[in-house]
Each structure stands twice: as structure tokens, then as C-alpha cells.
Amino acid sequence: MSTLDSPERGAATLAGPAPRILVIAAPYYRDVVDGMRHGAERVLADVAATIETVEVAGAYELPGALAMALASPRRWDGFLLLGCVVKGETDHYTFICDAICHGVMDLSTKHAAAIGFGLLTVDSLAQAEARSRDDRMNKGAEAAHAVLTQIGIARGWGIAG
């Protein structure tokens, strides 16, 4: 396997009831995010997950929407965040990416939330498209595997559905 290959993953598995997943998507780059969402949906279908999706204006809003979901009386077993930020000519990219990553990590640890973090931070749209295709490089599918793993850990420790 070269450094550019993603690991080959089998079908997703998860003990216990089918998980309830909230997908929070920032579809600024609609085709890219839809491709990642489709990759994630294929993985989540393996465990008969119930999926609810909400769209936010942009990637910067991902942590805010996650905070609202965590404060909601509705309960999900895990959260899948999907978005894409393409580097431009200014420092804006760095500030946005840092804020999103720190915001999501802070919420994840504060709330012991199972999160699959599918935020592409890329230099070009071509890089994003390569990571959202229907193949093993699909980062939405990887994020779905990650959230299922986190749910399994939480269930094993008795802290989640």
C-alpha cells in the first residue's frame, strides 16, 4: 500500500441496535459533499442505521450545528460531519480550518460524543473530488467507519445507546 492509498475496509459491523446517526453537511461544494455522503450512506446501510441529515451554510457552521444537536432533547448515537474547505490565496483557509477542527474536538471531548469527522481540507477542488469518488478513497465512507467505531466503544463502556 502506498502512502496515497486508503486501507481496504470490509462491511461495517456494530453490536447492538441499529444506530441513529445525524449527518451534518456543509454542501458549499455540493458535488464533493454529496459524493462523501453517498460513501457514508453505503457504510451506514451495512448496520441498518437510521440517518437524519441537516445542511448548514458552510463548513464554519459545522461545530455550531453539532453543539445545537448535542443540546437538543433528541438523541442520536453518533454524528457524521461532512464538508470541504479549499485553500485560497489568503490566510482565511487556515483560520477557518483551525476553528472548525478545534470546535469539533472540544465538543467531542466535552460531551463524549461519537463523531465521524469528514472535513476535507485541500489545496484544490481536484483533490476534493478524488476524495469523494465512489471508491476506497472516499472520505465520507472513512468518517462513517470512524463514527461506528466510536459508537461501539461508547456502547462497550456503557455510555451510549
Looking at residue 5, its pLDDT comes to 60
In this prediction, residue 72 carries a pLDDT of 95
- What's the predicted TM-score (pTM) here? 0.92
Q: Is residue 136 part of a domain?
A: yes
Is 106 a member of any domain? yes
6 located within any domain: no
Whether 2 is covered by a domain: the verdict is: no
Length of the chain: 161
The binding site comprises 28, 59-61, 84-86, 89-90, 117, 131
Q: Known catalytic residue: 102?
A: no
Query: What is the distance between the alpha carbons of residues 156 and 112, in angstroms, rounded to a whole number?
Result: 13
Residue range of the domain that includes 90 = 20-156
Q: Has residue 148 been placed in a domain?
A: yes
| Closest C-alpha to 108, from 150, 60, 47 | 150
Main-chain phi, psi angles of 12, to 5 degrees: -70, 145
Residue 59 lies in a domain: yes
Residues 7-28 have a mean pLDDT of: 88
Assess if residue 65 is contained within a domain: yes
User: Which CATH number belongs to the domain containing residue 85 in this structure?
Assistant: 3.40.50.960
pLDDT tens for residues 62-107? 999 999 999 999 899 999 999 999 998 888 899 999 999 999 999 9
Mind giving me the DSSP string for 32-72? HHHHHHHHHHHHHHTTT-EEEEEE-SSGGGHHHHHHHHHHS
Number of domains in the chain: 1
Q: Per-residue pLDDT tens for 38-49?
A: 999 999 999 999
**Binding residue positions for 5-amino-6-(D-ribitylamino)uracil:** 28, 59-61, 84-86, 117
